[in-house]
Amino acid sequence: MGITSFTPPAGFIDLLNDAVCAVDVDGRFVYLSAACERIFGYTPEELVGTAMIELVAPEHRARTLAAAADVMAGAAQHNFENCYMRKDGRRVDIMWSVRWSETDQLRVAVARDVTARKRGESMRAAMYAISEAAHAAKDLVSLCPLIHRIVNELLPAPGFAIALRDELDQLSFPYNVDEHGRPAAAPLPGAGALCAHVAQVARPLLLTPETLPLLPAELREAARSAAPYWLGVPLPASGGAIGALVVSGSPESAYFTDEDKELLQFVSGQVATAIERLRLHEQLHYLAQYDALTRLPNRQLFHDRLDSALARAARNGTGFSLLYLDLDKFKLVNDVHGHAAGDLLLHQMAQRITQCVREEDTVARIGGDEFVVLLESVAQTDDAARVAAKIALAMDEPFRFGNLCLDARVSIGIAAYPRHGGNAQQLLKHADEAMYGNKKRARAEGSDPIVPLEADPAVVGVNDTGA
């Protein structure tokens, strides 16, 4: 049986799902099959005579031109991938097989739409990258730029922001870059209002010139000062959205679609998990170093800072001082007015002490009613005594909690390095003994450090049994 050759009929190539095209030596389309309309959004007639590079996404143009030069030099390309911009503004990922026809002086190519495959790969890669970033980042400040880089590999994100809600439902922006790629402390008021809306309603918002007229009046007004292309999605959590994830751009740099919205929503779930994990880690780290009631450094953190101060003073030949404070008759407050009143008293005490010292000094709570102050670079006891007097004066102001008003006093001991000791144990021992010496003298004088000024009749005249 003989073999009969077959000549494809006209329109045969147009049956292919992949697009077939030919580009001349100047880089202009001279032929495209019917599939190009499905892939690129343009009819073949619209593209003939158009420079191929004009359709390529800006960030892929240099690489595409280099590959085209290789093809024209005789090196066929198989499975070359780049990104094109469709007529409707969407991005489409293309895998090319290309060769050069010397006879026709044309690049002949087959283009396959691999957007769905690339999106799936990108989502899997993003999941892994976000998980890695969450483990590598030390804090939220270092995590946010990593998230921006990951998102920017999924879709154009020259502008990027992470907005988080606090306990008072106020938004903060640990990371914000405008649509031109410039860091900013916070977005413009309009963009901030859009972020707040997304976080509050826990629904995504896609803003383009086409969708702007469809927005409610209050959002439309806010959107006018935002980037022309703006996409925000909530950061989901079990108790509701913890904030919003935002990408933005200009017509030249970004154009967002419903597909981008779905992709960013997927990413936001991973980002929210990473942020919550990091927040939990930060919270545990904070609780390990700070007193939960007063929010002051605890004993462990104080000793770390004291050790650092000792090493620094020994190295530089300088000094510093310690103040050891004890609230007089604190047990009486708890016994008469309850532990809630005692907690409020300690909290207000911590605030007043902190207001009496400099930012570089350390105020720590190291026991029930015991506080220590590390006065950096205060080597003379006279200078430390002036700070102690300032604190004692601050305690003279009555402490008020609702209808209760207490007059509280503290006993304070001072130790200076190196005069009163060369290590932490010696300094604390000296300051502690000095504090108890002052406390004994106050008792010998018959003073009553804690006296209810406006107490209930039932508690007036309670015996002083405090310690």
355 plus 441 within the same structural domain: yes
Q: How far apart are CA 303 and CA 319, in angstroms?
A: 17
Q: Say what angle helices 115-136 and 140-154 make with each other, to 10 degrees.
A: 170
Q: Pairing state of beta strands 91-101 and 77-85?
A: antiparallel
Structural domain of 52: 13-113
The answer to whether position 429 is within a domain reads yes
303 plus 347 within the same structural domain: yes
* pLDDT for residue 123 is more than 70: yes
The answer to whether position 294 is within a domain reads no
440 plus 312 within the same structural domain: yes
139 plus 86 within the same structural domain: no
Could you tell me the pLDDT band of residue 5, with boundaries at 50, 70 and 90?
low
273 plus 127 within the same structural domain: yes
154 plus 243 within the same structural domain: yes
The answer to whether position 152 is within a domain reads yes
Least-confidence region, from 89-103, 248-262, 393-407: 248-262
Mean pLDDT of 279-303: 91
The answer to whether position 459 is within a domain reads no
Looking up residue 263, the CATH number of its domain turns out to be 3.30.450.40
254 plus 140 within the same structural domain: yes
Looking up residue 89, the CATH number of its domain turns out to be 3.30.450.20
The whole-model pTM stands at 0.63
209 plus 143 within the same structural domain: yes
Looking up residue 346, the CATH number of its domain turns out to be 3.30.70.270
The answer to whether position 339 is within a domain reads yes
278 plus 140 within the same structural domain: yes
428 plus 309 within the same structural domain: yes
Question: Cα 74–77–78 angle (5° rounding)?
Answer: 145
Least-confidence region, from 209-213, 419-423, 463-467: 463-467
84-109 pLDDT, tens digit per residue, is: 999 988 889 999 999 999 999 999 99
393 plus 355 within the same structural domain: yes
How many domains, in total, are found in the chain?
3
Least-confidence region, from 158-167, 299-308, 364-373, 457-466: 457-466
CB neighbours of residue 433 within 10 Å: 14
